[in-house]
Amino acid sequence: MMQHKMILRVVSKLLIPFILLFALYVQWHGDFGPGGGFQAGVIFATAFVLYGLIYGLGSLRKVLPAWVTRLFLSLGVLVYSGVGVVCMLMGANFLDYYILSNTPHGGQHLGIMLVEIGVGMTVFAGIVTIFCAFAGRAAADVNPSDTAQEETHP
């Protein structure tokens, strides 16, 4: 895919580290400015989508195998609800973060940070997963003989 697009390849390779860095900035800076887990997850995923668009789906799956995105997809949800369960185990209500630390404010900050990490992981993995599913399907459709048996499995 896109073997001849020299400028795109060079520019995207230069851009991707900065996109990832910006996503991390948005993730950790959500308490003080615009942003948070959702936006950070989308931006983080965008870097991988760009990589997949320029270098092809096969290269993207080498960097980020399917099991990694699936792991992140479920891990994010697990982290979010896990924080809630930990709050309950420590004696507060579900997702009542104040109990997580010595001071109520510290607990709120810690809880919100963990929860945002969970959101970021799930959103990132979700976008990459959906992109790969669509792109993989499109690549399969180039070869129509592949699609013949798809409806046969339960």
Partner 1 sequence: MNIEIVTSDLLNIATLLIMAVIAIAIARIRNLFAVVMLSGIYSLMGASLYVILDAVDVAFTEAAVGAGASTVLMIGTLALTSSREKVTPNTLNTIKGLAICGLIGIALIYGSLDMPLFGDPSGPINHHVVPRYMNDSMAEIAIPNVVTSVLAGYRGYDTMGETFVIFTAAVGVITLIGRSRRRRKGGKESGGHGS
Give the residues lining the site for partner 1 (CB under 8 A): 26, 30-39, 42-43, 45-46, 49, 53, 57-58, 61, 65-66, 69-70, 73-74, 76-77, 80-81, 84, 94-95, 97, 105, 108-109, 111-112, 115-116, 118-119, 122-123, 125-141, 146, 149-150, 153
Nearer to partner 1, 9 or 108 (CB): 108
The minimum distance between CB 86 and partner 1, in angstroms, equals 13
Nearest to 41 by CA among 143, 149, 154, 121: 121
Residue whose pair of structure tokens reads 């990832």 in the numeric block:
20
- 29-37: long-range contacts (C-beta < 8 A, 24 or more apart)? 30/116, 31/109, 31/112, 31/113, 36/116, 36/119, 37/115, 37/116, 37/117, 37/118, 37/119, 37/120, 37/123
Answer whether 41's CB lies under 8 Å from 119's CB. Answer: yes
The minimum distance between CB 15 and partner 1, in angstroms, equals 13
Nearer to partner 1, 74 or 90 (CB): 74
The minimum distance between CB 6 and partner 1, in angstroms, equals 22
Cα 148 to chain centroid distance, Å, stands at 32
The minimum distance between CB 117 and partner 1, in angstroms, equals 11
